[in-house]
Structure 1
Amino acid sequence: MSTHLSKKEKRITIVLFSLIVVLLVTIAGTAIIYLQATQPMRQAKKEATELAQKYGNIETVDQFYRLSKNGTSYTVVGENKQNQTIAVFIPKDGTNIKVREMQSGIDQNEAKSVVLQAHADQNVYKENLGMLNDQPVWEVITKSKDGALNYYYVSFSDGKIIKEQQNI
């Protein structure tokens, strides 16, 4: 039995090998870029979680939010040893940390409902829990029918819209 390949078979083998190498390099490059791009957020989540454990006695983390309005803040939501769901609001500088029981304020669905009652023609795009002017808020982002983004800040404590930015 002969193991010699024809010239055509050799070219096909080289082309396939080259395509595989290019594909692997592309995948590896994409993974490296992704990891580098997400590193700051992963680091922020790690640091915020450590602060939430220290100041809010959170044992399990259920949610992590980042809000960047009038300064960046992070919020970690999780359960403490007493099985209470706690939100720890952390300004980027790590000072003036606020700890709240989630049952002491409105939840995500209530915040969406408040916004949709006032703006029924819009679709909710995203929600974040964070700090605005040293006050815990839900940021509810909507899209108008024309595609414009709208930002509504709903007080965590009483469920009132305290700030709006429309048609962005």
Structure 2
Amino acid sequence: MRKIISSIIIILFVVVVWQGFVFYSHINDPIRQSESEALRFLKENIDIDQIIVSDYYHGTESFHVFQIADQDGEEFIVWVPHSLDKYVVRQKNEGISIDEVKQFIERELNPKQLISIKLGMENSIPLYEIIYKDQQERLSYYFISFKTGTYLKHYHLGM
């Protein structure tokens, strides 16, 4: 009887883990498909030698953000909106680096926990979205300009 109960528990555990994986994969399918479409659009319009990083930003408008390199090794950041009707390209060195953003965070924001740093775009302005937990345990969003690192906006969720 003990072996039967143990076997049932193991089988149930395996089924739950398997279904969790299937569910997670199914949820991410639209984002992966959208990324593929954005990449196809980008390759039709820009000569790309290498894709270094790909990310997804969801603000007032959704963007796929690609860090790419051309054949000369020069790096660019490309923002492609979900609508696939245009794109914005900036040389990587036109803006502040991720290391400069991290220095800014430590110096100015003093987070309890840094959650993420993403490139995005709002109102045609390339930006960094910084998500962190502040000292009061609030989930905080802070936005700075990609080009200069100047403050754009922020808000907190929680108490």
Q: Could you tell me the TM-score, scaled by structure 1's length? A: 0.79
Q: CA deviation at 1:15?
A: 4.6
The one-letter amino acid paired with 1:136 is: P
Q: Matched residues in 1 for 2:144 and 2:16: separation? A: 44
Number of aligned positions between the proteins: 158
SS in structure 2 at match of 1:31: helix
After superposition, the C-alpha distances for 1:52-106 in whole angstroms (9 at most, x for unaligned) are 3333322322222222221212201122222111211011111231011111111
The 5 Å alignment of 1:95-106 reads 95-106=85-96
Q: Which residue of 2 aligns with 1:62?
A: 52
Whether 1:45 and 2:35 are equivalent positions in the alignment is yes
Q: CA deviation at 1:136?
A: 0.8
Q: Which residue of 2 aligns with 1:74?
A: 64
Q: CA deviation at 1:17?
A: 4.9
SS in structure 2 at match of 1:166: strand
Whether 1:110 and 2:100 are equivalent positions in the alignment is yes
Q: Which residue of 2 aligns with 1:88?
A: 78
Identity, % of aligned positions: 21
Which of the pair has more CA radius of gyration?
1
Q: CA deviation at 1:160?
A: 1.1
Where do 5+ consecutive residues of structure 1 fail to align?
Answer: 1-10
**8 Å contact kept, 1:48–1:76:** no
Q: CA deviation at 1:148?
A: 0.5
Divergent runs of 4+, >6 A: none
The one-letter amino acid paired with 1:37 is: I
Judged with a 3 Å threshold, the aligned counterparts in structure 2 of structure 1 residues 160 and 31 are, in CA distance, closer, same or farther, namely same
Where do 5+ consecutive residues of structure 2 fail to align?
Answer: none
The one-letter amino acid paired with 1:38 is: N
Q: Matched residues in 1 for 2:14 and 2:107: separation? A: 50
Q: Could you tell me the TM-score, scaled by structure 2's length? A: 0.83
The one-letter amino acid paired with 1:116 is: E
Q: Which residue of 2 aligns with 1:136?
A: 126
